[in-house]
Structure 1
Amino acid sequence: MESIIIFLILFAMVVYFLPIIVAFIRKNNNCLAIFILNLFLGWTFVGWVIALVWACTNTQINR
């Protein structure tokens, strides 16, 4: 039973911090700002979605 609870807590943390994970993997220039937004407003669905969209946007200019 304890292992299920630990798994669920870890899974919830990964889902909660998914925007910063995506931003880090995509090498987004705004990782710190996305992390702060996600940390303080990620508990609201709107804040989490904004952070995820921001993490998925392309910040590099193609020339």
Structure 2
Amino acid sequence: MEFLIFMVLLYFLPTILAIVRHPTHDPFGIFLVNFFLGWTVIGWWVAFIWALAANGTSREFRRVPVSSGRFCSQCGALSPYGAHFCSACGRVV
């Protein structure tokens, strides 16, 4: 009986990891892949890697109006409007 419980826990390890590591992230997709495709070795590994790679933190982006300047294609810095060179790296914008 202990072996059966161990195997069920091992089978649903990706889902358990997704719930424990990222409770704010929606682990339902990982559960679906784990439940329906986990019996295949590839499906289980996909769910496992997805559970480990799922990142619950969101990145914040700064919104800048286009008229306020130009973005450098190399470093991404914002140069003042009308500038011909990047103020951070010196590359032509």
Q: Normalised by the shorter chain, which TM-score bucket?
A: 0.7 to 0.9
User: What RMSD over aligned residues (CA atoms) do the two structures have, in Å?
Assistant: 1.5
TM-aligned CA deviation for residue 27 of structure 1: 1.2
> After the TM superposition, which parts of structure 1 deviate over 4 Å for at least 4 consecutive aligned residues?
none
**Partner Cα distance (1:41, 1:33) in 2:** 12
Number of positions where the alignment pairs a residue of Structure 1 with one of Structure 2: 58
The correspondence for 1:8, drawn from 3, 7, 10, is 3
Q: Which has the larger share of strand?
A: 2
Structure 1 segments unaligned to the other structure (5+ residues): 1-5
Which residue identity lines up with residue 47 of structure 2 in the other structure?
A: A
Report the equivalent of 1:3. Answer: none
What is the TM-score when the length of structure 1 is the normalising length? Answer: 0.82
Structure of higher CA gyration radius: 2
Q: Tell me if structure 1 keeps the 8 A contact 2:14–2:47.
A: yes
Report the equivalent of 2:52. Answer: 56
What is the TM-score when the length of structure 2 is the normalising length? Answer: 0.57
Q: Which has the larger share of helix?
A: 1
